Chain A
Amino acid sequence: MKKILALVLVAVMMLATFASCGESAATNYAANNTEYFIGGTGPLTGDASSYGISVQNGAKLAVEKINANGGLNGVNFKFDIKDDQATADKASSAYDQLFEAGMQISFGSVTSGSCEAFAAKAANDNLFFMTPSASAEICIAESNAFRVCFGDPDQGVLAAEELVANFQNIGAIYDESDTYSSGIFEAFDAKMKELNATYTVKTFNAENKLDFSTQVEALKDCDVIFLPIYYTEAGLIAKVAVAKGCDAVLFGCDGFDGIAGQIDETVTNQIKYITPFDVNSTDANVAEFVAAYETAYGVKPDQFAADGYDVVMAIYEAMKAAGVNDVTIDPDTLCEKVKAAITADSFVFTGVTGTMTWDLSGAATKEPVIIELNK
């Protein structure tokens, strides 16, 4: 009996091994779609949840606007965002779920780490995605990946130029365990060396991102502290700076968006950050978006909401330019069409975060502004 069972077991393994050599054709999960499906992932809970929720709100607004105007050739758009808590493995499994639900085109992931995992999966399926805010270079390494935000290196270079021009004693704190933060910092560091400027740097990582007293202690006498980090930690640093009696200017990048909710009237340090989106802009397009957003959600939009809005709008414009008119189109075909349309010289997109164009690298070309948060 034992022998028989052993044989059965061996047979099963053999069968399995043969089966593993086979390859099956890709299924088009979008075959039953009645609306174009835009999907993606973002942190709806956890430390970075402000980003995910903003992107979700902005993108929803755009989808509603498109559908209200008759959609694409009369076909509406459907939008879904899954929570990835800014972790790679959750983004990866969320991708599978979305894909099987018929996702045809995507806004990728909101944060860089998740987007890397998302991009690895999307590359296999050749699914077009344009991320609103994942600024790491690895996220758009493949040809099917695009973004509307600045790249990390651009922000680092810009920050270095800005700081050297305006301040003497420069300090920096960054998160070495974060793709976004260290990406900006590396470019910043290179540019500072190029400019022959000196500065002091302190680091933290995901294991100790709560207690910043040592770092602030070391940078207490700086005129400015460069913080290429997310708003939660930036808020904590601002509070420690107050406790330590440090009055340096806190200079951040687009991750600072959302910091207003983390600080209160005790924080007296001046806060500045780079962002492509100015909520007080007089531009008609922006004003309309801000008004619509406020009516829908009761708060003013931040940069991530604007990015989310722009992504959906840009995807829509590109699909229109590509002449897509089949609602059950499979992601692979759609990707090739949209890619050709969006990288064409004639395609210029004017969104609420500026006027942008794309090339094959997937990066958007646009102008940044620096915002001051005066207390």
Chain B
Amino acid sequence: MKNFKLKHFINYAIVSALLIFGVVMFLTGNLRPSTAQLFAQMGYGIILAVSLNLVVGFLGELSLGHAGFMCVGAYIGGLFAVVLKQSGLDMKLPVLIISMLVGGLFAALFGFIIGLPSLRLKGDYLAIVTLAFGEIVRNIFMNQKVFGGAKGLTTGTLIYDTRKSPTLFIVVFIVAILMLILVQNLVKSKHGRAITAIRDNEIAAKAMGINVTFYKLFVFVVAAFFAGCAGVIYAHTTTPVLYSFFSYNYSIEILVMVVLGGMGSITGSIISAVFITAMNFVLQSQLSGDLASLKNVVYAVILIIVVVFGNAPALKSFRERYNISAFFERFRKQDASKRRDDEAKWARVPSKIKMDALLSTDMAPDSDESIHGDIGADNDKGGNK
């Protein structure tokens, strides 16, 4: 009980709450098919955002090709599932799970391939390479006859009848929870600290004996695996799987989720993935015709405001005074003496050398606290290299 911190479980709680909400709605017969579809979209949105956050928020490399990994998963996993179905395995759940593994593994393989140049390139150069990668993948799949060529892969037999069974979104949320367990434990572990160390200062990390090559590849592979899983899920919701869906616009939409949620904050990614998917859904049904592009304008404005507010040097003091954690701090009922104790402990830690605080647990008064700070702090840290 002593070490219990709500924030370590808040992520599971959010996803489970969505899952339970959906199941209850289904059991009481109130679940509309479009809502079930929305749940599935939220589920793979969460998977995509959290996995991209690993690359962008924790490793600190900008990836503009996340939809490319999803594309690999959707095509290969989708085709695999279709073939399984044709070969007589007519059980939806096993087909979904097996194809998800296959799609994920292939995406991971591509993640490995794209991770290789990341060892030589960084920053803007890496960003353009990932963007190029996404476009190449799309273009190659478009030209393969096996995958239906430019007409897309017909996955009609895989589509879940959301009116009769909620299996799809349940599986999606369970996958999301499993991913969260893995990612959270990874981030909290010594490997996670090594990854954030690379983000904060690569040369210093190298000097500390961190195997930069290994960790960079590792992060790319893990992120690609989950993006691939999300792709397979997508293939189970839409027919045909079409290359045009995975354009860099979609990669950017995932990036927007990560940025809005706060780079390096898993909770933030989950909330913004849910929020953006829901908003997409509402706007899509409300706006028709050319008004639909109002959605893009709204996103763009939100994105610009959030980034400018979060990063402008001129607004630094303002930000420190009015960030989310300060906001919550006011509501927190805490023993005043204990708080002062805490502060006194922290005062002993020199604030200049953040790097060391990240790497050595000994320096911090409370090992859990020191690694991650809070959402607001991470938000600020995210962009720094």
Contacts and interface: CB of A to CB of B under 8 A. Distances in A.
B277 to A, nearest CB: 12
B23 A19 contact: yes
B161 A124 contact: yes
A97 B285 contact: yes
B33 A45 contact: no
Interface of A: 1-2, 5, 8-9, 12-13, 15-17, 19-20, 22-24, 26-27, 44-45, 82-83, 85, 87-90, 92-93, 96-97, 99-100, 113, 116-117, 120-121, 123-125, 138, 176-179, 182, 205-207
A87 B239 CA distance: 11
B23 A15 contact: yes
A256 B246 CA distance: 29
Nearest to A99: B33
A206 B242 CA distance: 11
Q: Which 8 A-B pairs have the closest CB atoms?
A: A177-B150, A96-B34, A20-B167, A120-B156, A16-B170, A1-B4, A19-B23, A20-B170
Contacts of A45: 289-290, 292
Given A96-B33, A176-B149, A182-B151, A26 B27 contact: no
B346 interface: no
Contacts of B166: 19-20
A83 B292 contact: yes
Interface string B160-191: 01111111001101100100000000000000
B152 A16 contact: no
Contacts of B4: 1-2
Counting chain B residues whose Cβ lies within 8 A of the other chain, the interface size class is 35 or more
A44 to B, nearest CB: 5
Interface string B29-67: 100111001000000000000000000000000000000
B150 A93 contact: no
A20 B292 contact: no
Nearest to B9: A5
Contacts of B162: 96
A12 B173 CA distance: 11
Nearest to A123: B156
Given A9-B12, A116-B154, A206-B244, 5 more contacts: A16-B19, A23-B165, A83-B292, A92-B237, A179-B151
Contacts of B384: none
Nearest to B24: A19
Contact of A12 (B1, B16, B163): B16
Given A24-B29, A83-B292, A90-B284, A13 B150 contact: no
B20 interface: yes
B178 to A, nearest CB: 9
Nearest to A1: B4
B87 interface: no
Given A96-B34, A177-B151, A13 B9 contact: no
A17 B20 CA distance: 11
B365 interface: no
B274 to A, nearest CB: 17
A101 to B, nearest CB: 10
Given A22-B27, A26-B163, A100-B33, A116 B239 contact: yes
Contacts, number: 126
Nearest to B150: A177
Contacts of B163: 24, 26-27, 124-125
**Which label, helix, strand, loop or mixed, suits the secondary structure of the A interface?**
helix
B52 to A, nearest CB: 20
A206 B150 contact: yes
A283 B173 CA distance: 60
A83 B288 contact: yes
A120 B238 CA distance: 9
Interface in B271-308: 281, 284-285, 288-290, 292
A13 B240 contact: no
19 contacts: A12-B16, A16-B19, A16-B20, A16-B173, A17-B170, A20-B165, A20-B170, A24-B163, A24-B164, A24-B165, A82-B288, A83-B288, A87-B242, A87-B245, A93-B34, A93-B281, A117-B240, A120-B159, A176-B149
B244 A121 contact: no
Given A5-B12, A22-B27, A96-B34, A44 B288 contact: yes
Given A93-B284, A97-B34, A24 B151 contact: no
A322 to B, nearest CB: 25
A24 B26 contact: yes
B142 interface: yes
Contacts of B244: 87, 206
Contact of A89 (B170, B171, B245): B245
A210 B288 CA distance: 26
Contacts of B161: 124
Interface string B184-223: 0000000000000000000000000000000000000000
Contact of B238 (A27, A92, A138, A176): A92
Nearest to B178: A13
Nearest to B163: A26
Contacts of A2: 4
Nearest to B30: A27
Nearest to A89: B238
B139 interface: yes
A19 B27 contact: yes
A97 B35 CA distance: 10
Nearest to B92: A20
B44 to A, nearest CB: 13
B142 A177 contact: yes
A124 B158 CA distance: 12
Nearest to A121: B159
A99 B170 CA distance: 23
A44 B239 CA distance: 21
A125 B37 CA distance: 16
Contacts of B240: 88, 113, 116-117
Contacts of B288: 44, 82-83
Contacts of A124: 159, 161, 163
Given A26-B164, A90-B284, A124-B161, A19 B26 contact: yes
B16 A138 contact: no
Contacts of B164: 23-24, 26
B306 to A, nearest CB: 27
Contact of B150 (A27, A125, A138, A178): A178
